[in-house]
């Protein structure tokens, strides 16, 4: 079952890349919203996002994007890209793209669709949900404020750009392990079916069968969140402020845990947002939450739980990020929300 799940993931990703190429090249210009040309472009972006669920941030992602038609230079690091038509993007060498980047997305206006090419020069860095404005500059926020160009981190390039064979093997090993993640839900799913079948045979009252099915489903969900909790403390332990180079083993484990959280627990925890149960779980993951703290939307998956400190009486409904990845070095530090403070919806502390 475990290896079958891994092979299914690999086969699906291969077929998705072939499907994108089979749709043919995308031309720049203005087309009709109801045309086959737009349908092809839309399908490419949808397939790309599906593949990114498994590959974003991995060494395999640039390979898949090249096979799908994107021009990607050597030694690029690419995380989540959205609404992107691969064959309309050209990327130079050693670029670094963080999460939630929109590249060459169609611009729709009054029944027409404008398609254009996006070109990124070598060593371009684009942060989370960034808007690029002009070359050789750095900007932050919305509305954007221009920043001085950052100094180089001064970290050995063997840890950031040119890894040794051992470090390359380490990272590839962790990223291949992503393909095994579906095996746990599959095994639990098979147990769920077997348990429900046994309950159906052993119970005659519909009410008892309903109670039994609810209990079994709750046990499966609890098991997945428990697996994630164990993984967190085995792989990372108590995380402290510091810096970690991209090709370090720590970064590979950190990234693997983020993918596992999205697969195992985010869906269930989303149903618990606004409840005490979610607060208890986040405390177990390392987050410091005071008394009478109200958590709103956005806490179903927390990338850096150990870094978040919420004092008594705080009300927060925001997207927290306690790290940056400047110059391919993960910099992580604490975010402290004071007593009685309120952070509204859609804020990014």
> Residues 43, 23: contact at Cβ < 8 Å?
yes
**Tens digit of each residue's pLDDT (9 = 90 or more) over 162-203:** 999 999 999 999 999 998 898 888 888 888 778 777 766 666
**Structure-model confidence comparison of residues 346 and 96, the more confident one:** 96
Q: What pTM, to 2 d.p., does this model score?
A: 0.78
- Cα–Cα distances (Å) from 104 to 81, 90, 139, 242, in that order, read 10, 10, 20, 35
For 231-281, the pLDDT digits (tens) are 999 999 999 999 999 999 999 999 999 999 999 999 889 988 888 889 999
74-78, 102-106, 156-160, 340-344: segment of lowest average pLDDT: 102-106
3-state secondary structure of 271: coil
Give pLDDT, residue 150.
57
Query: What pLDDT is attached to residue 196?
Result: 73
CA torsion sign for 262, 77, 162, 322 is negative
């Amino acid at each position: 079952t475990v290896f079958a799940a891994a092979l299914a993931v690999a086969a699906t990703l291969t077929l998705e890349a072939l499907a994108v190429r089979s749709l043919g090249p995308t031309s720049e210009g203005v087309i009709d919203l109801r045309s086959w040309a737009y349908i092809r472009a839309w399908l490419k972006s949808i397939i790309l996002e599906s593949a990114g669920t498994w590959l974003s941030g991995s060494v395999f992602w640039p390979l898949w994007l090249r096979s799908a038609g994107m021009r990607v230079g050597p030694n690029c690091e690419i995380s989540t890209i959205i609404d992107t038509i691969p064959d309309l993007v050209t990327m130079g060498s050693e670029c670094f793209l963080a999460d939630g980047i929109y590249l060459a997305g169609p611009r729709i206006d009054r029944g027409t669709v404008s398609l254009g090419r996006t070109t990124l020069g070598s060593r371009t860095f684009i942060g989370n949900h960034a808007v690029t404005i002009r070359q050789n500059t750095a900007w932050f926020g919305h509305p954007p404020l221009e920043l001085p160009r950052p100094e180089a981190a001064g970290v050995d390039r063997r840890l950031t750009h040119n890894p040794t064979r051992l470090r390359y093997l380490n990272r590839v090993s962790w990223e291949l392990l992503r393909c095994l993640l579906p095996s746990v839900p599959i095994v639990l799913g098979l147990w769920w079916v077997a348990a429900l079948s046994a309950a159906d045979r052993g119970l005659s009252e519909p009410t008892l069968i309903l109670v039994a099915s609810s209990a079994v489903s709750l046990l499966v969900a609890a098991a997945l969140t428990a697996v994630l909790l164990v993984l967190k403390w085995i792989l990372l332990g108590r995380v402290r402020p510091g810096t970690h180079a991209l090709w370090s083993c720590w970064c590979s484990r950190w990234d693997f845990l983020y993918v596992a959280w999205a697969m195992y627990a985010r869906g269930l925890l989303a149903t618990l947002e606004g409840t005490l149960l979610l607060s208890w779980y986040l405390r177990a993951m390392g987050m410091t939450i005071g008394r009478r703290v109200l958590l709103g939307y956005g806490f179903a998956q927390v990338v850096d739980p150990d870094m978040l400190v919420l004092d008594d009486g705080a009300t927060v409904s925001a997207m927290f990020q306690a790290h940056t990845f400047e110059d391919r070095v993960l910099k992580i530090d604490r975010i402290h929300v004071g007593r009685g403070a309120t952070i509204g919806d859609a804020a990014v502390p």
